[in-house]
Amino acid sequence: MIATGDAVLVINAGSSSIKFELFDAQQVPGALYAGQVEGIGAAPRFSAKDAAGARLADQRWSEGGAPGDHGAALRVIIGWLAGVLAGRRIAAIGHRVVHGGPDLAAPVLVDATVMERLGALASLAPLHQPHNLAGIAAAAEHFPGVPQVACFDTAFHRAHAWEADTYALPPEFYARGIRRYGFHGLSYEYIARSLAQTDPALAAGRVVVAHLGNGASLCAMHDGRSIDSTMGFTALDGVPMGTRSGQIDPGVLLHLMASDGMDTTAVQKLLYGNAGLKGMSGISQDVRDLEASADPRAAAALSHFCWRVRREVGALAAALGGIDALVFTAGIGENAASIRARICAGLGFLGIEVDPALNDANAPDISAPGATTRVLVRATDEEGMIARHVLALLQRSEKA
Ligand code: ADP
Listing DSSP states for 225-262 in one string gives EEEEES--SSTTSSS--SS---S--HHHHHHHHHHS--
The number of folded domains in the chain is 2
pLDDT at 363: 98
205 shares a domain with 146? no
pLDDT at 59: 92
310 shares a domain with 229? yes
Q: Is residue 216 in a domain?
A: yes
pLDDT at 339: 98
Q: In angstroms, rounded to a whole number, what is the distance separating the alpha carbons of residues 47 and 355?
A: 37
Is the C-beta atom of 331 inside 6 A of ligand 1? yes
Q: Is residue 389 in a domain?
A: no
**Which residues are within 8 A (CB) of 384 and not within 5 positions of it... i.e. 6 or more apart?**
21, 23, 28, 29, 30, 31, 190
Average pLDDT, the chain: 94
338 shares a domain with 210? yes
pLDDT, tens digit, for every residue of 162-192? 999 999 999 999 999 999 999 999 999 999 9
Return the minimum-mean-pLDDT range out of 62-66, 104-108, 238-242.
62-66
Sign of the torsion formed by the C-alpha atoms of 258, 260, 261 and 262? negative
14 shares a domain with 96? yes
Confidence band (pLDDT; 50, 70, 90) for 125? confident
Instruction: Please give the residue range of the domain that contains residue 144.
Output: 7-152
Is the C-beta atom of 298 inside 6 A of ligand 1? no
* Residue 185 labeled ligand binder: no
Active site residues: 153
CATH of the domain at 350: 3.30.420.40
* Residue 274 labeled ligand binder: no
Residue 30 has pLDDT above 90, yes or no: no
Q: Is residue 70 in a domain?
A: yes
3-state secondary structure 90-123: EEEEEEEECCCCCCCCCCEECCHHHHHHHHHHHH
pLDDT at 127: 78
Percent of the chain beyond pLDDT 90?
83
Mean pLDDT of 370-391: 96
Q: Is residue 174 in a domain?
A: no
Percent of the chain beyond pLDDT 70?
100
Q: Is residue 125 in a domain?
A: yes
Last residue of a domain, one of 152, 185, 216: 152
Residue 321 has pLDDT above 90, yes or no: yes
pLDDT: which is higher, 398 or 33: 33
137 shares a domain with 42? yes
pLDDT: which is higher, 17 or 325: 325
* Residue 213 labeled ligand binder: yes
93 shares a domain with 206? no
Residue 399 has pLDDT above 80, yes or no: no
Q: Is residue 384 in a domain?
A: no
Q: Is residue 183 in a domain?
A: no
Residue 128 has pLDDT above 90, yes or no: no
Q: Is residue 22 in a domain?
A: yes
Last residue of a domain, one of 152, 184, 218: 152
Is the C-beta atom of 336 inside 6 A of ligand 1? yes
Q: Which of 156, 230, 159, 154 is nearest to 189 (CA)?
A: 156
